[in-house]
Structure 1
């Protein structure tokens, strides 16, 4: 069986020692975003699994939306990506 190799690495090691592959990313065209899926996209971009531009195009995101996910995750971790806690984190 022949597997087509796409651009970029197929597997990366994250800072916590875990490995992430393209299979760990949400499917193309995802429209329902939960914190776990947002985190996977942001971690994938930060680790170099996919480029920022590729993520924005693949998931039909705006620059501002991706920036807000990245900033929330860097400031508050995965909990910062939960929409129910967004107002709480913005006030503190």
Structure 2
């Protein structure tokens, strides 16, 4: 049996105590972004599970788009990533 070695850690522990693996990340080439998938990518990058550059390339994201997700997570949590509630959570 051959196990492919991925760069970086296999498992990381998030601040809330949950563990996250690469299997918890959305599949490469994802085009339909719901809040849960956005959160997984942002948490994966923040915890060191995946590099920022690798995430941008893997999911074909722009730097600005990813920064927007990070800002929304910091300001409003997962609810800030929901596009249907955009005005409610992102108003000053």
1:34 Cα deviation from its structure 2 partner: 0.2
Deviation at 1:29, TM superposition (A): 0.1
User: Counterparts of 1:86 and 1:71 in 2: how far apart (Å)?
Assistant: 13
- The Cα shift of 1:84 comes to 1.0
Q: Distance in 1 between matches of 2:78 and 2:90?
A: 15
TM-score by length of 1: 0.96
Q: TM-score, normalised on structure 2?
A: 0.96
Task: Encode CA deviations 1:72-91: one digit per residue, 9 max, x unaligned.
Answer: 01110000000011122222
Q: Which has the higher helix share?
A: 1
Structure 1: runs of 5+ lacking an equivalent: none
> Could you say which residue in structure 1 is the equivalent of 2:67?
67
Runs of 4+ in 1 over 4 A off after TM superposition: none
Cα RMSD, aligned residues only = 0.7
SS at match of 1:56: helix
Partner residue of 2:35?
A: 35
| Corresponding residue number in structure 2 for 1:57 | 57
